[in-house]
């Protein structure tokens, strides 16, 4: 008899997986990345990357979690005892991301309230960095707590940890059944309104007009793989954890295709909405669309408030809907990120869900308070850059090389997926995992290491200009390396022995 928590329905799992994949990056990162890398032509490498890296790794992680019935650390341990540390490394990467991701959701909560009275005024940049974040003058300064960030941050954690306390079926599944349809409806309203604005077609033309000359640039293909990789929530324990809650009979490959294409569809929808609105803004300012394109914090919390100020009719409602969509997208992702270390603690130390949520989520919430100080944005930038590039991307490379080349588990996992799935895996999946993905990720890591040796820092938020090298290098590397070191320590910590029933259940299911 299955003793592990399970999803109530297949739709519940898919909504949760899509909810994890659809996050802030879909709305504020993808449109700018696509625009800068060939517009409509970017969809060619993007689709290729989805089919040769995104969906193959989704299938891989869905299959691993389903076959080995555990959190990321337990899954890697059951695959090979020597690789448990990789599971903990992935969990620690998720832990770090949760500490600052929660703060960005808190900003969006505040801005959804600000929308009603347009509190940000005419100088939206000055309001964000000065009035709202009360940003310290120099990177490295902590300063005092900022109440406008601290209060919604506490609310974010109360919501997320409250949902996780309820468990998989009664908490995560029910929350995603509410949040994901609400997010889709809200964003459809935004998109419909956006494309009816004067100048919207100019924005859409800028977004979709293909620049095929860029297709031959290898950096464009790297950008496509990077976008797929970072937007699908792969390679940092989430999909392994979620799929471990699937019933024994589950269509792995179908679920992966639905999740992958669902995420990409939302990204393209976000691009239409964002560029429709940017086209309107460009028309109002009498400038080309290229002059108003931005990404990350700048797009969401500076450019969009400027647009909302000029919005024709019901601008307060439109502003609320936009920031509410950020909150919903963020909450569904934060739930999944936090569940990775909750599940890891439950498996390793045989503690109750309540205790795992209290200790794991509680520590993450306490650490997140650092980002609610006057120096919070500086620390957020350093942590985000290094944990994404040298946590998520490097983890993905290690994961596929380990499974495909060292443990040679591809055939075993393929057989497991094919046994229960309608869409059978063949040479496409094997070649993608064994050759295409490792080569592309290896090239990405080479470029990132070269960039950091040359001290050419950059990220989607664009806030590194003027940062001291020492702050980024020491602070950022401390976070990235610290996640790996703590992961190794947790891996060598003795397991609290599972019950006989748990081991017997797993062995029977594995046969």
- pLDDT per position as a tens digit, 70-97: 999 999 999 999 999 999 999 999 999 9
Q: Which of 343, 457, 358, 341 lies closest to 97, judged by CA?
A: 341
Q: What is the percentage of the chain residues whose pLDDT exceeds 70?
A: 91
pLDDT in tens, 231-253: 898 888 999 999 999 998 899 99
Do the domain assignments include residue 27?
A: yes
What pLDDT is stored for residue 71 in this prediction? 96
What pLDDT is stored for residue 505 in this prediction? 58
Do the domain assignments include residue 5?
A: no
pLDDT in tens, 329-355: 999 999 999 999 999 999 999 999 999
Per-residue pLDDT band for 492 (boundaries 50, 70, 90) equals very high
DSSP code for 215: G
Do the domain assignments include residue 462?
A: yes
Per-residue pLDDT band for 501 (boundaries 50, 70, 90) equals very low
pLDDT in tens, 96-144: 999 999 999 999 999 999 999 999 999 999 999 999 999 998 877 888 9
Do the domain assignments include residue 151?
A: yes
Q: What is the mean pLDDT of the chain?
A: 89
pLDDT in tens, 139-154: 778 889 999 999 999 9
Do the domain assignments include residue 358?
A: yes
3 state SS of 491: helix
Radius of gyration for the chain, computed over Cα atoms and rounded to the nearest angstrom: 22
What pLDDT is stored for residue 449 in this prediction? 76
- How many structural domains is the chain composed of? 1
Domain that holds residue 481: 12-506
Do the domain assignments include residue 6?
A: no
What pLDDT is stored for residue 4 in this prediction? 83
The tokens of 369 are what?
A: 């308070």
DSSP-assigned letters across all residues of 425-439: --HHHHHIIIIIHHH
Angle at 57 between CA 331 and CA 437, to 5 degrees: 125
* CATH number of the domain bearing residue 362: 1.20.1740
Do the domain assignments include residue 475?
A: yes
Q: Which of 100, 86, 17, 103 lies closest to 391, judged by CA?
A: 86
Res. 467: pLDDT tops 80 = no
Q: In this predicted structure, which of 1-10, 17-26, 54-63 has the lowest mean pLDDT?
A: 1-10
Do the domain assignments include residue 1?
A: no
Is the pLDDT higher at 379 or at 477? 379
Q: Residues near 354 by Cβ (< 8 Å), separated by ≥ 6?
A: 165
d(CA 72, CA 70) in angstroms, rounded, equals: 6
């Amino acid at each position: 008899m299955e003793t592990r928590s399970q999803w109530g329905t297949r739709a519940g799992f898919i909504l949760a997986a899509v909810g994890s994949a659809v996050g802030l990056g879909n709305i504020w990162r993808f449109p700018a990345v696509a625009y800068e890398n060939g517009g409509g032509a970017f969809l060619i490498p993007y689709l290729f990357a989805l089919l040769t890296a995104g969906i193959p790794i989704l299938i891989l992680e869905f299959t691993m979690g389903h076959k080995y019935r555990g959190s990321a650390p337990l899954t890697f341990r059951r695959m090979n005892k020597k690789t448990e540390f990789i599971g903990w490394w992935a969990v620690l990467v998720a832990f770090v991301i949760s500490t600052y991701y929660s703060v960005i959701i808190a900003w969006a909560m505040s801005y959804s309230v600000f929308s009603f009275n347009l509190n940000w005024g005419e100088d939206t940049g000055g309001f964000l960095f000065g009035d709202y974040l009360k940003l310290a003058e120099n990177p490295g300064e902590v300063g005092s707590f900022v109440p406008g960030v601290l209060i919604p941050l506490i609310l974010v954690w109360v919501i997320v940890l409250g949902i996780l306390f309820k468990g998989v079926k009664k908490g995560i599944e029910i929350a995603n059944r509410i949040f994901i349809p609400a997010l889709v409806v809200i964003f459809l309203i935004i998109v419909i309104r956006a494309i009816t604005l004067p100048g919207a077609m100019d924005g859409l033309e800028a977004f979709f007009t293909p620049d095929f000359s860029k297709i031959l640039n290898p950096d464009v293909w790297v950008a496509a793989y990077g976008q797929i990789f970072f937007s699908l929530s792969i390679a940092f324990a989430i999909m392994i954890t979620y799929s471990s809650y699937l019933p024994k009979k589950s269509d792995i490959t179908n679920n992966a295709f639905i999740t992958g294409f669902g995420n990409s569809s939302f990204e393209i929808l976000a691009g239409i909405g964002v560029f429709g609105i940017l086209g309107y803004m460009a028309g109002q300012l009498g400038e080309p669309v290229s002059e108003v394109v931005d990404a990350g914090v700048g797009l969401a919390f500076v450019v969009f408030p400027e647009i909302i100020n000029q919005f024709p009719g019901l601008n307060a409602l439109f502003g609320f809907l936009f920031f509410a969509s950020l909150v919903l997208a963020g909450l569904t992702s934060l739930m999944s990120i936090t569940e990775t270390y909750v599940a890891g603690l439950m498996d390793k130390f045989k503690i109750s869900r309540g205790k795992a949520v209290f200790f794991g989520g509680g520590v993450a919430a306490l650490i997140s308070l650092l980002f609610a100080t006057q120096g919070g944005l500086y620390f957020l930038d350093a942590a985000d850059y290094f944990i994404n590039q040298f946590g998520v991307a490097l983890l993905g490379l290690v994961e596929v090389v380990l499974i495909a080349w060292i443990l040679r588990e591809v055939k075993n996992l393929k057989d497991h997926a094919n046994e229960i799935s309608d869409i059978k895996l063949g040479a496409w999946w094997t070649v993608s995992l064994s050759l295409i993905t490792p080569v592309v990720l290896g090239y990405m890591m080479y470029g990132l290491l070269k960039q950091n040796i040359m001290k050419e820092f950059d990220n989607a938020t664009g806030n590194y200009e003027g940062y001291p090298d020492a702050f980024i290098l020491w602070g950022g590397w401390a976070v990235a390396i610290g996640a790996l070191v703590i992961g190794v320590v947790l891996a060598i910590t003795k397991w609290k022995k599972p019950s006989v029933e748990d081991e017997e259940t797993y062995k029977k299911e594995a046969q």
